[in-house]
Amino acid sequence: MKFSIDRSKFINQTSNVQRAISTKSSIPILTGMKLDLSESGLTITGSNSDISMTSFIPTEDADNDLKIESTGSIVLPSRFFNEIIKKLPGDKFELEVLNNNQTLIKSGVSEFTINGLDAVNYPHLPDVEADNQLVFPTDLFKEVVNQTVVAVSTQESRPVLTGVNFLITNEGLTAAATDSHRLSQRRINITSEEDYNLIIPGKSLTELVRTIGDSVKEISMSISENQVLFNFDNIMFYSRLLDGRYPETDRLIPDDSNTRLTFDSSNLLASVERASLLSHESRNNVIKLEIKAVDKKATLYGNSPEVGTVEEVLDCENIEGDDLEISFNPDYLKDALRSFGSNTTIEMSFTSALHPFTLRPVENRDNFVQLITPVRTF
């Protein structure tokens, strides 16, 4: 195996694949990066127990400046290999596999020889049928992931809650995540003739969104029994699916409310951030919202016995319903508000001091909801 290639183009692709490689794997070969060279181009592969990723560099793209002398494959230690390529002096480099999987890397005045592994021993990637593909506009897909992944659980005691539940039917797609303290649910008009109910790990979706470049217009999704494949821009991103039954999140969302606030998301976020400066110093990390509907007044309180107190009257566009005092974790509210984007008009709806409350955008209110469980302070 021997080829030369433009160094910057190669680094762009390896930096993506590197996301799928763990430096501490129980399978030593998975700490490496697989290079597979054919006449049509170079395929770079990385994998761990959760995700696998391949990136293809075609010979037909002249910008890659890929020159092939002989085909073949090799697995190279990912961390060392990446650092070597990044620090090479020239604009191009040459790679050649010698005897016993030793690999020679040359660029300008530099020459490295590193020990590789036989690619035959590298695990095969999952087989995912690409017949029934769902195609998403990239911006919409990123939005759905960013709005839901904030609510996934970080506790492994209930593995299904560490993922986002995608429910896809001929009526549309519903994505939902909950850690049992909060819930985020988003609906979009992406349909499928075949029904799917799958749970994708939140960590996989976070890495996927980081990998998708700004120039990518569409991303396709293919589903198998225990794997999902995302395809875009010569990159194939595989993720395992989580086993188990996801909670029915629809029944957690209240149908009616007794108190409602309408406000600008950016203004409330700034107020909550100020209140949480003190609550973070307290052991319970709680802030209180007091609503006086008759006076059209809502006040936020933060308290830390060690530091002091904060009180701020909120800038609400509208207040209606019953008076209420409710306490909650400010970090949950901050995450929820950020998911709406800046300067979005939000309706916050309450049932009682001990029941979960919801946040919805005034426009498109039926398609996105965030739910937060209050904290009992007495």
pLDDT in tens, 254-310: 989 999 999 999 999 999 999 888 887 777 789 999 999 889 999 999 888 778 888
pLDDT (mean) for 1-28: 91
> Residue 378: which pLDDT band, with cuts at 50, 70 and 90?
low
Round to whole Å and give the CA distance between 202 and 164: 6
Q: Quick one: pLDDT at residue 285?
A: 86
- DSSP for 38-98? ETTEEEEEEE-SSEEEEEEEETT-GGG--EEEE-EEEEEEHHHHHHHHHH-SSSEEEEEE-
Measured at the CA of 200, the angle between CA 227 and CA 31, to 5 degrees, comes to: 65
| Predicted structure pTM score | 0.92
Contacts of 254 (CB under 8 A, 6+ apart): 349, 351, 355, 356, 358
pLDDT (mean) for 155-174: 94
* 135-219+241-250 matches 2-121 in CATH topology: yes
Segments making up each domain of the chain, as ranges? 2-121, 135-219+241-250, 253-372
- CATH of 135-219+241-250 among 3.10.150.10, 1.10.760.10, 3.30.70.270, 3.40.50.80: 3.10.150.10
Mean pLDDT of the residues in the chain: 93
pLDDT (mean) for 343-349: 94
Q: Quick one: pLDDT at residue 221?
A: 95
Q: Pick the closest to residue 373 from 333, 337, 346, 344 (CA basis).
A: 333
Answer yes or no: are the C-beta atoms of 20 and 32 closer than 8 Å. Answer: no
pLDDT (mean) for 1-30: 91
| CATH fold of the domain at 2-121 | DNA Polymerase III; Chain A, domain 2 (3.10.150)
pLDDT (mean) for 314-343: 93
CATH architecture for residues 253-372: Box (3.70)
> Residue 358: which pLDDT band, with cuts at 50, 70 and 90?
very high
Q: Quick one: pLDDT at residue 305?
A: 78
